[in-house]
Structure 1
Amino acid sequence: MMQVKRTVQIDVGTRGRRRRSEREQAAVPSGRIPRVSRLMALAIKFDSLINDGIISDQSELARLAHVTQPRMTQIMNLLHLAPDIQEQLLFLPRVISGRDPVHERMLRPVAAEVSWTKQRKMWSELSSND
């Protein structure tokens, strides 16, 4: 018996994908996300991992993240900031060139303040110096 080979052509619609990726590339803003914004997002994510019971405590989190326990504490202390300050940190403008205008070290005294009213005053003074 003779075997017949058949060729099938399938259009996978790559044209639509190409257009979408071009749109996505055009929508990506230039510059980089400030480090303190990334740290704030990490602190929020880490807190949810601990609250959900996925990670037992900050010590385990530090081991998994390959940072020291004091550094993990510094990152997690960002959660002590007033919610509106946390939001502002998350949405800081991208840095086009040069150094970040706000550093985690600058926020330590603000996060150490218990009163959110005082924190907001300290934050406004800190952010106005930029």
Structure 2
Amino acid sequence: MDGPNGAPVAAYREQTVEIALGPKGAFENGNIGTVTRRVPADKVVSAVPPRRGKPKPPREPRTPRVVELLRKAIEWQDLLQSGEASNQAAIARREGITRARVTQVMGMLRLAPEIQEHVLSLPDVVRRPAISERALRPIAQLEDHGEQRGAFSALLESDGVGSC
């Protein structure tokens, strides 16, 4: 294509792009705008920029935190029984955490033995584990192990894990 003076003219095309206006979810409400721009005909223009650098490697499976905490509670109980630690305050000083946190973690030892075995046998996971220490706290407060097992089964079913 030549211009009026015989010089070549770049060929352009118009590209119309729809964009969502506003915060996430605004697109569903119909808040859509359009932008029209001229781009060189031979250039591919995308709304999504190309990825830079290497993609992130897949995450390694990790032991769920609740498993580590229950193991730590068992270890602390052994320290108290052997006399290496005189009380929970000594454990807190040694670990650099509060006495309240030591009490919370040690509270997991009140769980029924079957629940403790189930927690200790949890597999390593890449994502959020199905069971958390915080979810187990109210179960550990129950005195009766039968009630604990029922509450634990309900917890597993609510997370879609199945019963123990």
Partner SS, residue 86 of structure 1: helix
Q: Give yes or no for the alignment of 1:110 onto 2:139.
A: yes
Tell me the alpha carbon deviations over residues 54-100 of structure 1, each in whole angstroms, 9 at most, x when there is no partner.
Answer: 1101010011011111111000000000011001111112112x222
Partner of 2:49: none
Distance 1:103 1:42 in 2: 15
Q: Compare the two structures and name the one with the higher strand fraction.
A: 2
Q: TM-score, normalised by structure 2?
A: 0.59
Query: Within the alignment, does 1:38 sit opposite 2:68 as a pair?
Result: yes
Q: Percent identity?
A: 41
Structure 2 match to 1:56? 86
C-alpha RMSD of the superposition:
1.0
Q: Is residue 122 from structure 1 mapped to residue 151 from structure 2 by the alignment?
A: yes
Q: Which moved more, 1:78-87 or 1:98-107?
A: 98-107
Distance 2:124 2:137 in 1: 22
Gaps of 5+ in 1: 1-29
Q: Which has the larger radius of gyration?
A: 2
Q: Which has the higher helix share?
A: 1
Q: TM-score, normalised by structure 1?
A: 0.74
Q: Deviations over 1:29-58 (max 9, x none)?
A: x61110000000000010001000011010
